């Protein structure tokens, strides 16, 4: 009787639900003894007496006596109907997740979902969303920045909610597909909020320190992020539809990877542009002193405050967190769901959970609408409009020929 290999209930993104003929459950159905499904054949050759087999499934869904599925004899699949065809294994386990051997398999994951960690992330993202809503309602400015953050947080909230749903049944396809797509989209929406801030920082510090006009940062990076978001949304939708329909998800996976690559390139370009602006500002300040900065009175006062410096630091921290998470997600998609990265729940918790929570709360604590209202004009939300911030004015401009080098 052939030995069984340790099963993996998931495949690559090209085939998220494996063919049932590749699983030990499917192979076992071919040798079921007609009659009662619990009938035990002669165990002499297999060395496992019937009384040693698990008879109940504990709450965590794992065999109580530690017997793994690959040690079960090929002719025994307790709990499975004798007439179950191999292509119906997934459907059977989704409807009967507590029956053996379905309960001993990870289902669509390669690990048992950590319920406390996912519940904590869900709670934190809900708190962050409420915080942004309260600030927007009070200040009535910076609507686009806040709406982009809210969109990202909603994706995270519904993504982790579906993971919690999957905790009760890790064979359920719809929550699995939804959590994968939504958690993919969340950080991309948050990145759009970050891109909207650099042009305002350039105006406050001094547009002469930038190689390009300040408003070009928003006009370039935000559209690139929107394209990356659309590609990931389309790829996620195609993948989810394929998974739910039991079809190959090759096309959706390729679109997802392309969208993630575009997002990483956009983030890298943004980091490079911000770094270049910082270096040029530092060099011009050493040569020109205060003449290197904008002389608008509102911006002069703003630059001298700790709240402005804290906002810039929070923006840098959030950018770094989202960039690291995007690189991780690209590596995860490239290896596929059978790969070791996807199978490591600790990596998922850190990169997809901890880093994004840090990014969200950094922008909560140092929300630019609250810390730098001079950079965000009123938006008309509420019963009246706030007074718009004055446009940036360059009163004194010094031409430095070294800037052209």
Q: What is the predicted pLDDT for the residue at 82? A: 52
Q: Which helix (H) or strand (E) holds 102?
A: none
Q: Specify the 3-state DSSP secondary structure of 331.
A: helix
Distance CA(371)–CA(387), nearest Å, equals 16
Q: Which residues contact 322 (CB under 8 A, 6 or more apart)?
A: 187, 190, 191, 194, 267, 355, 356, 359
Mean pLDDT per 10-residue interval, the chain, length 405 residues: 42 41 41 42 47 48 41 42 56 70 74 94 97 93 93 96 90 86 93 92 90 87 92 83 67 86 95 94 89 86 91 96 95 81 91 97 95 76 42 45 47
Q: What is the predicted pLDDT for the residue at 224? A: 93
The dihedral over CA atoms of 239, 236, 182, 111, expressed in degrees to the nearest 10, equals: 40
Q: What is the predicted pLDDT for the residue at 253? A: 79
Residue 188 token pair: 């991309």
Q: What is the predicted pLDDT for the residue at 74? A: 37
The dihedral built from the CA positions of residue 315, 116, 154 and 169, taken in this order, carries a sign that is: positive
Domains parsed from the chain with CATH numbers: 18-107 (no CATH), 115-404 (1.20.1070)
Distance CA(271)–CA(191), nearest Å, equals 12
Q: What is the predicted pLDDT for the residue at 67? A: 37
Residue with tokens 């990596």: 347
Cis peptide, bond prior to residue 137, ω within 30 of zero: no
* HEC string for 360-405: HHHHHHCCHHHHCHHHCCECCCCCCCCCCCCCCCCCCCCCCHHHHC
Q: What is the predicted pLDDT for the residue at 65? A: 40
Q: Which residues contact 148 (CB under 8 A, 6 or more apart)?
A: 189, 190, 192, 193, 196
Q: What is the predicted pLDDT for the residue at 195? A: 94
Q: What is the predicted pLDDT for the residue at 354? A: 97
Q: Which residues contact 241 (CB under 8 A, 6 or more apart)?
A: 247, 252
Q: What is the predicted pLDDT for the residue at 329? A: 92
């Amino acid at each position: 009787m052939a030995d069984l290999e340790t099963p993996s209930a998931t495949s690559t993104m090209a085939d998220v639900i494996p063919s049932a003929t590749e699983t030990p459950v499917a192979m076992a159905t071919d040798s079921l003894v007609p009659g009662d499904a619990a009938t035990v054949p002669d165990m002499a050759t297999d060395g496992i007496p019937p009384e040693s087999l698990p008879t109940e499934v504990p709450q965590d869904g794992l065999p109580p006596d530690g017997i793994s599925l690959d040690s079960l004899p090929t002719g025994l699949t307790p709990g499975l109907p004798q007439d179950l065809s191999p292509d119906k294994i997934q459907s059977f386990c989704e409807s009967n997740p507590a029956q053996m051997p379905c309960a001993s398999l990870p289902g669509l994951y390669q690990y048992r979902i950590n319920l406390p960690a996912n519940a904590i992330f869900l709670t934190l993202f809900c708190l962050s969303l409420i915080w942004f809503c309260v600030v927007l309602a009070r200040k009535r400015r910076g609507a686009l920045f806040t709406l982009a953050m809210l969109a990202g947080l909603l994706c995270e909230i519904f993504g982790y909610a579906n993971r919690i749903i999957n905790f009760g049944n890790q064979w359920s396809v719809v929550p699995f597909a939804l959590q994968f797509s939504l958690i993919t989209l969340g950080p991309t929406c948050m990145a759009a909020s970050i891109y909207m801030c650099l042009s305002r920082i350039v105006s406050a510090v001094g547009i002469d320190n930038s190689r390009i006009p300040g408003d070009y940062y928003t006009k370039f990076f935000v559209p690139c992020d929107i394209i990356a978001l659309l590609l990931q949304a389309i790829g996620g939708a195609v993948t989810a539809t394929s998974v739910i329909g039991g079809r190959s998800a090759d096309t959706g996976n390729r679109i997802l990877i392309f969208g993630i690559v575009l997002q990483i390139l956009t983030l890298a370009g943004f980091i490079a542009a911000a770094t270049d602006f910082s270096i040029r500002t530092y060099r011009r300040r050493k040569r020109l002193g205060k003449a290197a900065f904008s002389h608008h009175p509102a911006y002069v006062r703003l630059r001298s405050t700790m709240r402005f410096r804290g906002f810039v630091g929070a923006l840098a921290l959030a950018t770094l967190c989202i960039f690291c998470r995007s690189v991780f997600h690209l590596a995860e998609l490239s290896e596929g769901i059978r790969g070791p990265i996807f199978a490591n729940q600790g990596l998922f918790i850190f990169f997809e959970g901890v880093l994004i929570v840090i990014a969200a709360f950094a922008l909560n604590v140092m929300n630019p609408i609250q810390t730098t209202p001079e950079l965000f004009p009123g938006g008309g939300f509420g019963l009246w409009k706030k007074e718009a911030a004055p446009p940036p004015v360059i009163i004194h401009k010094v031409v430095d020929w070294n800037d052209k080098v």
